[in-house]
A = this chain, B = another copy of it.
Amino acid sequence: MKYERYQTCIDACLECATECEHCATSCLNEKDVAMLTRCIQLDRECAEACYASARLMGMGGEHALLFCHACAEICEVCAEECEKHAAHGMTHCRVCAEACRQCAEECRAMTGVNA
């Protein structure tokens, strides 16, 4: 089954998706929410991209890697934004940025191996 070779990448996507949802909710509860609107927006997009990629890989889908490729792009943009706020002490942004970087790396590895 194809999905076995996807397992590490699925796990990274689901971890990243969950951290993105957490980060968005946490940002909405911050006093300085006005500074965090791009972060919230990217968290929403990144969560959707990660869930969809994980799900297609979970199905052993023959087109899953097209989605992993797109997912890596979004993860990197989201990580960059989160890292800005992490530098100003936002813990949820730091945790989210790390999950995004890890997920991007796993998605790149998948598409590199199989492209």
Binding site for B on A (CB under 8 A): 1, 3, 10, 14, 17-18, 21-22, 24-26, 28-29, 33-34, 37, 40-41, 44-45, 47-49, 51-52, 54-56, 58-64, 66-67, 69-70, 73-74, 77
Q: How far is the CB of A22 from chain B (nearest CB, A)?
A: 5
Query: Most chain-B Cβ atoms within 10 A of its Cβ — which of A33, A34, A67?
Result: A67
* Copies of this chain present: 4
Closest to A40 in B: B28
Distance in Å from the Cβ of A21 to the closest Cβ of chain B?
Answer: 4
14 CB < 8 A contacts A-B: A1-B25, A1-B26, A22-B58, A22-B60, A24-B44, A41-B61, A44-B61, A45-B56, A47-B55, A48-B52, A49-B63, A51-B55, A52-B67, A67-B70
CA distance A14 to B44 in the complex (A): 18
